[in-house]
Amino acid sequence: MFSVYGLGGRLFHGPLEDLYRVGPPQALARMHRVQPIGQDAQDHAPFQNHLASQMPNPEPHDIAHRVAVSSYQHAHNESPARHPLSQVAAIMSHALVTVQDEYTVEQAWSVLSEKGVGQAPVVNAQGSLVGLLSRADLMRPERLPGPQSHALVWRALLLQAVSEVMWTPVPSVVPDADIRRVARVLLSTGLPGLPVVDAASALVGFVSRSDILRAVVAEPPLDLWT
């Protein structure tokens, strides 16, 4: 099952087949315009550098190195038997990173950078899901000032509230949803991932493109295709 959440709460709950029938046309149009993270990374580098220069610069997370070390450490371990993998709960990230809708863009960017993630669900003061924020979406050329713009223009952008720039309404998924159906939504929308909510509409995790790819290449125990 999928749900759609916005500033007014849950707007839809139902199967994938009905997901695209809900929401205002402009929201669905934007759903198809959002580009996957990293697609135009080189083209957006000047803008990213300017944003980074305006905010705290935490130590970079050497994700590739840690993955390589982890793979090496497990290379000689005895391999357990493979088992079928079909539900989101088996691959989603439980260490949930969220940003508040009242945060400024600068504050939200700092959270994403510090946690080493490219996107995060947006929640309101009650902790309810209201949107999704991604660094790639923030760096879309039509959203940013020109490279030669005055520093005050950039500062105004950084002081915007997350609620003004986040993607909303946002689709979400339940933990027992089929991974293939989630992949279809990610492919059709270009979103980097989906928030995972339980039956009480509480955020319990996030499933990303990377989570699905890691499941596909895992040796063993995960087997997505059997």
Q: What is the pLDDT of residues 53-64, one digit of tens each?
A: 555 554 444 445
Show the CA angle centred on residue 156, arms to residues 41 and 114, nearest 5°.
Answer: 50
Can you list the domains of the chain with their CATH numbers?
A: 2-56+83-223 (3.10.580.10)
Mean pLDDT on 173-188: 91
**Cβ atoms within 10 Å, residue 165:** 18
- Per-residue pLDDT, 108: 94
CA distance 178 to 61: 31
- Per-residue pLDDT, 24: 43
Q: Residue 164 has which token pair? A: 């003004």
Q: Residue 124 has which token pair? A: 């309101």
Contact call for residues 115 and 97 (beta carbons, < 8 A): yes
Is the peptide bond preceding residue 221 cis, with omega within 30 degrees of 0?
yes
CA distance 67 to 51: 28
Mean pLDDT on 19-43: 45
How does strand 119-123 pair with strand 99-100? parallel
- Per-residue pLDDT, 107: 95
Q: What are phi and psi of 211, to 5 degrees?
A: -60, -45
**Pick the residue with more confidence: 122 or 151?**
122
Mean pLDDT on 184-193: 88
CA distance 171 to 194: 7
Q: What is the pTM of this model?
A: 0.67
